[in-house]
């Protein structure tokens, strides 16, 4: 028991000694003449439960304060005091009762513990005395009050107005701020991280005569650079009725531009807030501007900028604040070139010239600013030009590739009587294309009520749809979007040099021209896109395609990636060149959707009188490749699919000459006849060799009577014409049904009715939402049962004037054969 107790006590004592282990000892001695106070205390971000005690000879406590004339020995009751404790070293300098100790400012005392520490110099001086803080190179850079410096070394400068502390600014090292002049007293704070090896303060204090304002900040520039500066007390509000000045020292061969990034105004009771520029190289007297005015640019040499406050409204004072950027760079070659942009004859157009989006990656130390100037003094990063005015602009930019142009034009029609016959050019104005800045996007917004539609025409160049198998590689392309009742129908991307001559659309249309590379400057001279307003159309969109005979045209439904919206119908009017045959094929076998309500259809119909119409539903296979000898329509209509999977289809059209098709048909028929002849010869030869065929052996003759059995009648049906029917009467086929329905057959509500409207003017009428019968029998449908009562085939003659399909059964095969009045199908 004694052994166990002793062992436990020793372990507990060792653990206690580890927790309370003392990290060396420190001694701080402060001379009385130095007027310095050192305070060691927990950091503001350290939780109360986690702290490190400071132990002196008498006691351990969480905070230690050492005043002037006192020597203190102490230790830390933890191994990493820099995580928990901070140190403030404050030196009070009295310049009111005696001379000020001007000159370099030193970091005193030395040999302090390695803690995060803040040196504070509180200089008290008469209000009529100006104090100057002069910084050694590399000078300072101003930051926001909540920002941090990369090396965590931060300078904070503040002053006092009566009893109110005013922040002049927060700064990091490496900048352009070389001096700060303050009226009256000043408080300078230098924050150093615990591992910093900085041994000098980096500034000195000098006496100045009265500056008659709150402060003066001097920025010195030696080359191309930029600096961000802020008003005092930013963003909390500039002091009431105070004056602040920035002095800019700039070499005479450089140019400066002032850009206000952010500002706010207070509510003035007397006077007016303003900025004043003293530009000795341009004007002899100060130039007074409002904060909302355009600020000077392209300023040569040195100049001053002052901010003047006003007397605030006591009830609602508001806040005056200013954040601006000064950009210093070399004069640009484009400075002497003025470009005239004449928009006096344009209507409802706006042009914006602006910098491109910044590139990703590591930012450069300085990237010269690109400015657009309407006159030598009014230069901005973004300029918007509107119709009805003539502009003269020039650029202050070392590389115009950093700028881009976007433009927007609105064309509206609210009454078709006034705009139906007008044709509008959708071309980029020459005033834009002649500028040295690349056009990025030009957007046309075509607005009209629901009963007025839009027709886009490209008569000579025509349009090519950009799809995977047929990519656009031109210097520009068009994006066409139709907007109806808040829903968008994206027709796709199009470029010149295709087969689409015309597009008709409903509702409001947005056409966006996007450029690629520098080739657009030459290509813009040949633009031929036009538009007009037309009466209402039933389809959401109709494409008119007039391809070249050698063309291979790929087309796809709008909203390709999202799919065709529910119940939307789109048509293509495709022209077949003279003496050519079109081959239409779909790029997949099915529509790949399942309808929740309604039906999805593909309709194909040639534009000739009484043309046959090919129809496929969503649950059927799409047609095999079709040959079209006349112009034809393709209509695709969507249903309301299940699981929100919408309809997307691609098809393509190629052309061959009619001679080629005729030759192919002749060759095919000749080959078929040759095969039939060979089969007949082989059959006859085999019949001669076998006079009594065995049971179960296949006989190639059409006669399929049981072997060895003689007929009951010598004259059989195949020897007379009793089985040939001139007309098939519906009453013979459907007699039982007619009897049950009292002689009349009521069609189903959703029976499909083929298109019988005018040929060529309008697309085929989309089928109703649901039907059960198709014009053509699809591959998936089974043929009716063929009777095998007799071995002979049935032969029909049809006397209707139009072409019809009847069923012919040749045991054991069944197939469809077209029959006309000009011929009767023989045995």
Average the pLDDT over 610-631 and give the result.
94
Assigned domain for 552 exists: yes
Does the structure show a pLDDT above 60 at 326? yes
State pLDDT tens for residues 408-429. Answer: 999 999 998 888 889 999 999 9
State pLDDT tens for residues 535-550. Answer: 988 888 999 999 998 8
Does the structure show a pLDDT above 80 at 765? no
Q: Which residue has the higher pLDDT, 255 or 633?
A: 633
Tokens of 665: 């048909």
Q: Which residue has the higher pLDDT, 217 or 356?
A: 217
- 123 in Cβ contact with 75 (< 8 Å): no
**In 10 A of CB 642, how many CB atoms?**
11
The radius of gyration computed from the CA coordinates of the chain, to the nearest angstrom, equals 46
CA distances for 649 relative to 458, 484, 592, 765, 769, angstroms: 24, 22, 9, 19, 19
Tokens of 598: 């309604």
572 vs 557: CA distance, rounded Å: 10
Instruction: Provide the pLDDT confidence category of residue 22 given band limits of 50, 70 and 90.
Output: very low
Phi then psi for 549, rounded to 5 degrees? -55, -30
**In 10 A of CB 710, how many CB atoms?**
6
Work out how many domains the chain is built from and give that number: 1
580 vs 508: CA distance, rounded Å: 37
Does the structure show a pLDDT above 90 at 675? no
Edge-to-edge strand ranges of the sheet holding 299-300: 225-230, 318-329, 255-266, 299-300
Q: Which residue has the higher pLDDT, 322 or 332?
A: 322
Residue carrying the six token digits 């039906």: 599
Which pLDDT does position 750 carry in this prediction?
Answer: 40
Does the structure show a pLDDT above 60 at 476? yes
Measuring CA to CA, which residue among 635, 500, 630, 528 is closest to residue 578? 630
Average the pLDDT over 337-345 and give the result.
90
Question: What element of type H or E holds 738?
Answer: helix 735-740
271 vs 310: CA distance, rounded Å: 5
Tokens of 463: 């349009």
For residue 763, the 8-state DSSP code is P
Average the pLDDT over 697-712 and give the result.
39
Q: Give the contacts of 435 (CB within 8 A, at least 6 positions apart).
A: 339, 341, 353, 405
* Predicted model pTM: 0.62
294 vs 307: CA distance, rounded Å: 15
Tokens of 477: 């392309």
Q: Pick the range with the lowest mean pLDDT from 231-245, 589-603, 722-736.
A: 722-736
Assigned domain for 55 exists: no
Average the pLDDT over 7-19 and give the result.
34
Buried b (16+ CB within 10 A) or exposed e, 608-622: eeebebbbbbbebeb
Which pLDDT does position 726 carry in this prediction?
Answer: 42
Q: Give the contacts of 483 (CB within 8 A, at least 6 positions apart).
A: 489, 507, 508, 509, 510
CA distances for 554 relative to 142, 470, 652, angstroms: 60, 7, 4
Does the structure show a pLDDT above 50 at 794? no
Residue carrying the six token digits 């040949």: 526
Measuring CA to CA, which residue among 112, 119, 125, 37 is closest to residue 82? 112
Which pLDDT does position 808 carry in this prediction?
Answer: 39
Range of the domain at 586: 547-665
Assigned domain for 659 exists: yes
Assigned domain for 622 exists: yes
Does the structure show a pLDDT above 60 at 14? no
Which pLDDT does position 370 carry in this prediction?
Answer: 82
In whole numbers, what is the pLDDT of the chain averaged over residues? 79
Q: Give the contacts of 226 (CB within 8 A, at least 6 positions apart).
A: 325, 326, 327, 328, 366, 369
Tokens of 592: 């790949």
808 vs 805: CA distance, rounded Å: 10
Assigned domain for 573 exists: yes
Q: Pick the range with the lowest mean pLDDT from 256-265, 444-453, 645-654, 741-750.
A: 741-750
Q: Which residue has the higher pLDDT, 658 or 404?
A: 404
649 vs 556: CA distance, rounded Å: 6
Query: What CATH number has the domain bearing residue 661?
Result: 2.60.120.290
Assigned domain for 554 exists: yes
Q: Which residue has the higher pLDDT, 412 or 523?
A: 412
Average the pLDDT over 737-749 and give the result.
41
Question: What element of type H or E holds 154?
Answer: strand 154-161
Assigned domain for 584 exists: yes
- 256 in Cβ contact with 328 (< 8 Å): yes
540 vs 711: CA distance, rounded Å: 67
Instruction: Provide the pLDDT confidence category of residue 637 given band limits of 50, 70 and 90.
Output: very high
Does the structure show a pLDDT above 50 at 298? yes
Q: Give the contacts of 809 (CB within 8 A, at least 6 positions apart).
A: 786, 787, 793, 794
State pLDDT tens for residues 128-150. Answer: 888 899 999 889 999 998 899 99
Does the structure show a pLDDT above 70 at 178? yes
Average the pLDDT over 507-523 and give the result.
88
Instruction: Provide the pLDDT confidence category of residue 669 given band limits of 50, 70 and 90.
Output: low
List, in sequence order, every beta strand (DSSP E) within 2-152: 23-29, 36-42, 54-55, 60-61, 64-66, 71-76, 85-94, 103-106, 116-124, 130-135, 140-143
513 vs 391: CA distance, rounded Å: 24
With the CA atoms of 308, 311, 314 and 318 taken in that order, what torsion angle do they form, in degrees rounded to the nearest 10?
-20
Average the pLDDT over 365-377 and give the result.
74
Q: Pick the range with the lowest mean pLDDT from 642-656, 753-767, 780-794.
A: 780-794
Does the structure show a pLDDT above 80 at 75? yes
Which pLDDT does position 754 carry in this prediction?
Answer: 42
**In 10 A of CB 221, how many CB atoms?**
21
Measuring CA to CA, which residue among 816, 825, 822, 817 is closest to residue 800? 822
Assigned domain for 21 exists: no
Which pLDDT does position 664 carry in this prediction?
Answer: 55
Which pLDDT does position 375 carry in this prediction?
Answer: 77
Q: Which residue has the higher pLDDT, 534 or 359?
A: 534
């Amino acid at each position: 028991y004694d052994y166990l107790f002793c062992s436990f006590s020793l372990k507990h004592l060792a653990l206690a000694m580890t927790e309370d282990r003392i990290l060396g000892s420190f001694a701080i001695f402060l001379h009385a003449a130095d007027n310095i106070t050192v305070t060691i205390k927990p950091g503001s971000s350290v939780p109360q439960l986690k702290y490190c005690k400071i132990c002196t000879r008498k006691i351990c406590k969480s905070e230690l304060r050492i005043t002037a004339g006192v020597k203190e020995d102490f230790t830390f009751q933890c191994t990493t005091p820099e995580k928990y404790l901070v140190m403030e070293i404050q030196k009070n300098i009295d310049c009111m009762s005696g001379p000020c100790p001007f000159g370099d400012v030193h970091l005193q005392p030395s040999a302090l513990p390695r803690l995060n520490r803040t040196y504070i110099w509180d200089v008290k001086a008469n209000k009529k005395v100006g104090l100057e803080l002069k910084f050694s190179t590399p000078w300072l850079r101003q930051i926001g009050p909540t920002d941090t410096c990369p090396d965590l070394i931060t300078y904070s400068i503040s002053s006092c107005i009566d009893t109110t502390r005013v922040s002049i600014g927060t700064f990091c090292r490496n900048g352009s701020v070389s001096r700060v002049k303050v009226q009256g007293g000043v408080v300078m704070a230098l924050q150093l991280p615990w591992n910093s090896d900085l041994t000098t303060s980096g500034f000195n204090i000098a006496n100045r005569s009265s500056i008659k304002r709150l402060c003066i900040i001097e920025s010195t520039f030696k080359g191309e650079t930029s600096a961000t500066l802020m008003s005092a007390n930013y963003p909390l509000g500039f002091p009431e009725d105070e004056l602040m000045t920035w002095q800019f020292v700039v070499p005479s061969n450089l140019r400066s531009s002032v850009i206000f990034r952010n500002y706010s105004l207070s509510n003035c009771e007397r006077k007016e807030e303003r900025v004043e520029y003293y530009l000795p190289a341009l004007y002899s007297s100060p130039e007074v501007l409002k904060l909302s005015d355009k600020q000077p640019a392209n300023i040569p040499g040195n100049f001053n900028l002052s901010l003047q406050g006003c007397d605030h409204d006591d009830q609602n004072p508001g806040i005056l604040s200013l954040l601006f950027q000064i950009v210093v760079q070399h004069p640009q070659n484009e400075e002497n070139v003025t470009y005239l942009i004449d928009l006096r004859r344009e209507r409802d157009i706006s042009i914006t010239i602006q910098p491109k989006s910044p590139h990703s990656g590591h930012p450069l130390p300085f990237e010269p600013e690109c400015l657009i100037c309407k006159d030598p003094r009014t230069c901005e990063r973004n300029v918007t030009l509107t119709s009805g005015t003539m502009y003269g602009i020039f650029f202050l930019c070392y590389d115009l590739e950093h700028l881009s142009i976007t433009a927007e034009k609105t064309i509206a029609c609210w009454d078709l009587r006034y705009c139906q016959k007008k044709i509008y050019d959708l071309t980029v104005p020459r005033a834009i294309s002649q500028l040295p800045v690349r056009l990025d996007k030009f957007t046309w917004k075509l607005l009209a009520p629901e009963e007025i539609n839009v027709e886009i025409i490209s008569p000579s160049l025509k349009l090519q749809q950009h799809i995977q198998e047929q990519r656009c590689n031109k210097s520009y392309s068009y994006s066409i979007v139709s907007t109806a009742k808040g829903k968008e129908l994206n027709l796709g991307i199009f470029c010149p040099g295709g087969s689409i001559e015309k597009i008709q659309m409903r509702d409001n249309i947005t056409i966006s021209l996007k450029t690629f590379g520098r080739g657009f400057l030459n290509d813009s001279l040949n633009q031929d896109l036009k538009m007009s307003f037309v009466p209402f159309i039933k389809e959401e969109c109709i494409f008119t395609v007039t391809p070249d005979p050698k063309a291979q045209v790929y087309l796809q439904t709008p909203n390709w990636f999202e799919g065709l919206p529910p119940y939307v119908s789109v048509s293509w009017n495709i022209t077949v060149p003279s003496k050519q045959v079109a081959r239409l094929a779909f790029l997949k076998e099915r529509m790949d959707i399942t309808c929740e309500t309604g039906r999805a259809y593909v309709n194909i119909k040639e534009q000739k009188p009484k043309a046959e119409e090919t129809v496929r539903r969503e649950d059927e296979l799409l047609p095999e490749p079709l040959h079209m000898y006349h112009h034809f329509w393709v209509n695709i209509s969507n249903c309301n699919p299940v699981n929100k999977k919408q309809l997307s289809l691609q098809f393509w059209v190629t052309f061959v000459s009619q001679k080629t098709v005729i030759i192919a048909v002749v060759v095919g028929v000749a080959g078929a006849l040759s095969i039939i002849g060979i089969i007949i010869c082989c059959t006859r030869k085999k019949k001669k060799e076998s006079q009594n065929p065995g049971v179960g052996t296949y006989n190639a003759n059409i006669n399929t009577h049981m072997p060895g059995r003689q007929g009951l009648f010598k004259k059989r049906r195949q020897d007379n014409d009793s089985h040939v029917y001139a007309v098939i009467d519906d009453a013979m086929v459907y007699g039982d049904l007619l009897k049950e329905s009292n002689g009349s057959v009521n069609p189903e509500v959703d029976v499909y009715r083929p298109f019988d409207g005018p040929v060529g003017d309008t697309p085929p009428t989309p089928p109703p939402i649901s039907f059960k019968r198709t014009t053509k029998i699809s591959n998936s449908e089974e043929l009716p049962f063929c009777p095998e009562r007799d071995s002979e085939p049935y032969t029909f003659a049809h006397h209707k004037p139009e072409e019809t399909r009847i069923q012919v059964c040749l045991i054991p095969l069944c197939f469809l054969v077209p029959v006309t009045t000009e011929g009767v199908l023989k045995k």
